Amino acid sequence: MDTLVPVKRIILLIDLAGFAKASQTADDSEIVEFLQDYYAACAEVLSPKGGTVVKFMGDACLATFLPEAAKQAVEGLVEMQGRIKTIAAKHQLAVTLGANLHMTSAIETELGTGSNKRHDIIGRGVNQTFLLGRGPGIRISEPVYRALPSSMRSAWTKHKPPAIYHLESPDGLYEGHRKDAASNTLRW
pLDDT in tens, 121-171: 999 999 999 999 999 999 999 999 999 999 999 888 887 766 777 777 777
C-alpha–C-alpha distance, residues 34 and 126, integer Å: 26
Question: Stretch 76-88: mean pLDDT, rounded?
Answer: 96
pLDDT above 90 for 88: yes
Q: Which of 68, 57, 58, 70 is nearest to 12 (CA)?
A: 70
Q: What residue ranges define each of the domains in the chain, with the CATH number in brackets?
A: 7-187 (3.30.70.1230)
Residue 188 — pLDDT band, cuts 50, 70, 90?
very low
pLDDT above 60 for 179: no
More confident residue, 177 or 133: 133
**pTM for the complete prediction?**
0.83
The number of angstroms, rounded, from the C-alpha of 35 to the middle of its chain's C-alpha atoms is 16
C-alpha–C-alpha distance, residues 180 and 100, integer Å: 29
Encode pLDDT of 36-66 as tens digits. 999 999 999 999 999 999 999 999 999 999 9
